[in-house]
Structure formats: C-alpha cells, structure tokens
A = this chain, B = another copy of it.
C-alpha cells in the first residue's frame, strides 16, 4: 500500500499537537496544550444577528459560488483596518481572502517551493508552517529565535547560503511567544532586501498586544514587498476559517491560480457573515476585550510559574498572543514531563516538534488564552510538581 503514495508523503506526519489534543480530552485534565482562543469571548449573539441579516437580505448570493479573490467589501474593511490601526497603506486589490491563514502556507509552498529549495524558519517554528512546507520537500534551515527575534548572524548566513524564502511570525510567535524588537525588525528587513529573499510574514496574533508599543511589520519596513498574512481566527472566531494575504500583483496572480485549484474560493457564506459582523459591530472594542482578558490570564500564568516552577526553569514572558515558552535545564526531557504531567492531570505541548533540527527536547509550550485564572493557578501548581519530579 505504502508505495502508492507520492514521495512527498514520506516526510510528513499527522500533527503531533492534534494527536496530543486527543489525549487531553479527559475533562479532569487542565490543558495548556491547545492553541485555542477563549470561546467565552466569541461574539456569538452578534454573529447570529449578522447571519440573519445576510440571509434575509443577500441570502441567495451569499449561498452562490463567488470570486477566487474574495468579497470586495471584506477586503476593503481589511485594508481600512491596516490603515487605521497600523498606518499601513494596502490596496484592497492586493488582498486575497483565504480559507484560514493556514491555507496561505500551502499556497505559498505550492507557488514558490521546488524540491530542495532552502526555506528559512525560526527555531522553534510554527508547526503548521513546517507541515505545509514539508509537503513540497524544501530543505529547512532553522535560525535560533532569541527573546528579541532571530539570531541575525545565523539569519544572514542562511540568506548567504542561498535561501529562497524566510517564513517568520514576528509578533508573539507560536510557539515561543517571542516578539521581534524594532531593531531586529529593521535588521531583518535590510537583510531580506540585501539578499533578495522572499519574505512571508505571518501575523495572526499582532493585534493581541498586552503591553509595550505596537511595532511596524517587517513587510512595511522593506523596499521589496513580501507576503503579509492575517487572520480573523484570533480577533473574531476561527470556526469561519477566514484569513487573508497581502501581496503585489505578480505574486497575487500566481496565488490566485493556486487558490482556484485548491478550493475555487473561500466560503461565500462565511465571508458575508464576517463582513456584516464587521460592518455592524465594534471590532476594535472587541479586540480590546480579548487583549484585556488574555493579558490578565498571562499575568496569572507568569505569577504562578514564579511561585510553583523550580528556579532553573526559564521562561520568555510574552507581550501578547496566546503562548508562553518555558525551558528546563539541558538534559531534562519534556516528553518525560508530558507523561508525568498527564498523571497529574495537566497537559502542555512538548517543544521538540517545533524544532526542525530535532533539538528543543527540554522546552515546552504553554497556552494561556483558553484557561481562566483558577485553572491556570491549579494547572501551573500541578505542572510545577511534575517538573520537580522529573528534575530530581
């Protein structure tokens, strides 16, 4: 049977995280493993109202096939928000609506990556990107992520060695929570321009900043435009599978071809409801609410880690997003910790799968967006105990 599959299937596996989520379905387990937004904050009533308004006004056209590029009104709103919230001038015609921002990674790989092309990613890096790119058989080159962004010497060495593409999550990265400093953004932009490397800037969490100042996208700092990716999953709801990308015309044309072949277009219904929701609700106020809630959950997690984790465990304190990264002393295994923690009814994601070079065995990702303060307190207490057990 195995020999009927394409060669590329030999290099990829089911998402380790999704497999872990099955283990953690036990309701007694406090899970910091998932990457879920907090469903208590989903604007359910507003979406109900928006859906009714869509069906009762433009119902038939919302149910019909539509253009690959996406709803023009929705693209205009995305462009307006870039201008108002980020000071970024984006032509709505340079926006392509996608089936979640995950789809962008598949399309980018399809359009740009030949087998063996060098793709530079952060270490640790976003697992969904590693999976999507892997199917197109690149040579991954990973660059250390420091608390203020990538190691610039490693990045330049990778670019000098002939990198085709750099995939980066500069704001509150999944899994590390790291946000690039302004200096590193400027340096990365310079290196990208100097070496002519295609840049894919993934920004699903950028609007979820709890502290510090918003920083410009690397996309906006470059002379040569790249591909900027956005998503409604973290600021509204992921169940619609609605994302978008910004790219120049030549690149967009190819991505549109890839999207036509992949799913013709993104759900017309989902786009219409999201557009109506955005037109008739205060999305900025809603995002502020998410920021406030996640920010306070992050505070509790950091405080509890200080209380319950052994001091030899270091963490990166995130300024936004949904994840916190912890590193145990060298030699400790987060897979061993996972087994111990499950017995203690607490879960997290071991860090090794985020490392394409197989390192990171002593690291772990903790999600704080989807647990309230009491569960964070109890969960971190349990996890601290598990860590002490395996560090003995």
Contact = CB atoms under 8 A, between A and B. Distances in A.
Interface of A: 1, 4-9, 12-15, 18, 35-37, 39-40, 42, 44-45, 47-48, 51-52, 55-56, 59-68, 99-100, 102-103, 105-106, 110-114, 117, 128, 131-132, 134-136, 164, 198, 233, 237-241, 250, 253-254, 256-258, 260-270, 272-273
B264 A267 contact: no
Given A114-B6, A239-B268, A260-B18, A63 B47 contact: yes
Query: Taking the full assembly, how many copies of this chain does it contain?
Result: 2
B241 A264 contact: yes
A345 B364 CA distance: 64
Given A262-B103, A270-B269, A111 B42 contact: no
A100 B4 contact: no
A54 to B, nearest CB: 8
Contacts of A117: 6
Nearest to A272: B239
Contacts of A241: 99, 263-268
B48 A60 contact: no
Interface of A is mostly: helix
A270 B18 CA distance: 21
A66 B8 CA distance: 26
Given A63-B39, A239-B66, A261 B132 contact: yes
Q: Which of A12, A35, A164, A262 has the most CB of B within 10 A?
A: A262
Given A6-B112, A64-B36, A106 B261 contact: yes
Contacts of A262: 102-103, 106, 132, 262
Contacts of A110: 6, 8, 135
Nearest to A104: B263
A276 to B, nearest CB: 12
B254 A111 contact: no
Nearest to A250: B1
A286 to B, nearest CB: 13
A5 B273 CA distance: 34
Contact of A12 (B1, B60, B131, B257): B257
A15 B63 contact: no
Contacts of A136: 6
A86 B33 CA distance: 42
A267 B92 CA distance: 24
B135 A258 contact: yes
A238 B135 contact: no
Q: Which of A4, A66, A112, A113 has the most CB of B within 10 A?
A: A4
Given A35-B65, A42-B64, A51-B55, 16 more contacts: A4-B164, A5-B111, A6-B110, A9-B254, A9-B258, A15-B260, A18-B68, A44-B55, A48-B56, A65-B238, A100-B263, A102-B262, A110-B135, A240-B268, A241-B263, A269-B269
Contacts of A15: 260
A233 to B, nearest CB: 8
Contacts of A64: 36-37, 39, 42, 237-239
Contacts of A13: 257
A108 to B, nearest CB: 10
15 contacts: A4-B164, A6-B136, A8-B110, A14-B257, A37-B64, A51-B55, A65-B233, A65-B239, A99-B99, A99-B267, A106-B261, A106-B263, A110-B135, A132-B262, A239-B272
